[in-house]
Amino acid sequence: MSGRPISEKANQYEYKSIVIGVSAVDVDLKATNAELFGGANSHMKGSPNQRGILRLTTTATIQIKYNSTSNDAIQITSTESPYIEEDINISNIFVSSTPGATITVLLKYI
């Protein structure tokens, strides 16, 4: 078996609950929640461009874009929660939503 010890891998994730208080277009989660992407207070020990797993839940319809606001949006409704992407290279998420949406984001490096 190769790779990091299990105890180290257990700390390779971040989980945040984020409330979008107003109608929002392309909210930059890296700018507002830097620890999600390996910031100073992050538990994630790898490069922010390391492959990982994204698990996202939402209480309202949202649109997300990966890595750049110029990428196509993915629409996710509350009935499609949780939305899961595996083995994805992600360095940022941009969220557009209606007022009052609560989203939870779990990012885990693999």
pLDDT in tens, 53-91: 888 888 888 899 988 999 999 999 889 888 988 887 777
With beta carbons less than 8 A apart as the criterion, state whether 40 and 53 touch. Answer: no
Q: How many domains does the chain divide into?
A: 1
User: In which domain, by residue range, is 101 found?
Assistant: 18-109
Per the domain annotation, does 9 fall within a domain? no
Per the domain annotation, does 97 fall within a domain? yes
Arithmetic mean of pLDDT over the chain: 76
- Whole-prediction pTM: 0.76
Per the domain annotation, does 4 fall within a domain? no
Element (H, E) at 107: strand 101-109
Q: Where are the beta strands (DSSP E) in 38-100?
A: 51-58, 62-66, 74-76, 83-89, 93-97
Per the domain annotation, does 11 fall within a domain? no
- pLDDT of 71 reads 95
With beta carbons less than 8 A apart as the criterion, state whether 20 and 97 touch. Answer: yes
CATH code of residue 33: 2.60.120
- pLDDT of 108 reads 72
